[in-house]
Amino acid sequence: MSTHISILNVLAKNFKYLDPPFLSELKHFLESANDRAAWDPETTDCATVELSAVAHVRKLGLELMRTCIEQQDAGDSSITSDGRSFYRLPSSRGSVMTLLGQVDYTRSRYRGRGKKNSLCPVDETLGL
């Protein structure tokens, strides 16, 4: 059985986590899309409209991907994996390449006592 995720459902579920500047830009884009004067055929050709729409949808998709990935991170102060305890280190940056482009995100890192390697459960969830 395959799972399909509606981008609108993901947006609605994660709306409160999106950055205010991004939401402001999205609101402006949606308002201008509904404003026929903003798409004056005398000054705006179809290619310009299409490129603008693709750029905004791509940016929206990247922001949604970042939000969904970061929501997978429980941020616990310590975790147990394979019967061993790990303590939390400062958060670190991660990135993953998607069809929309590179998604940069923040995730928790953990290290076991006396171990040099760190563990990032979100990366493991993503299969990285």
Does some domain include residue 1?
no
Enter the pTM of the model: 0.63
| 16 and 44 housed in the same domain | yes
SS3 state of residue 20: helix
- pLDDT by residue (tens digit) across 27-64? 776 666 666 555 566 666 777 777 877 888 888 888 88
> Taking all residues of the chain, what is their mean pLDDT, rounded to a whole number?
78
| 92 and 37 housed in the same domain | no
SS3 state of residue 49: helix
pLDDT at position 87 is 93
| 104 and 48 housed in the same domain | no
Structurally, how many domains does the chain consist of?
A: 2
Confidence check: pLDDT of 1 > 60:
no
Does some domain include residue 17?
yes
Residue range of the domain that includes 63? 7-71
Helix axis angle, 20-34 to 46-71, nearest 10°:
150
**83 Rama sector, left if φ>0, alpha if ψ -120 to 50, beta otherwise:** left
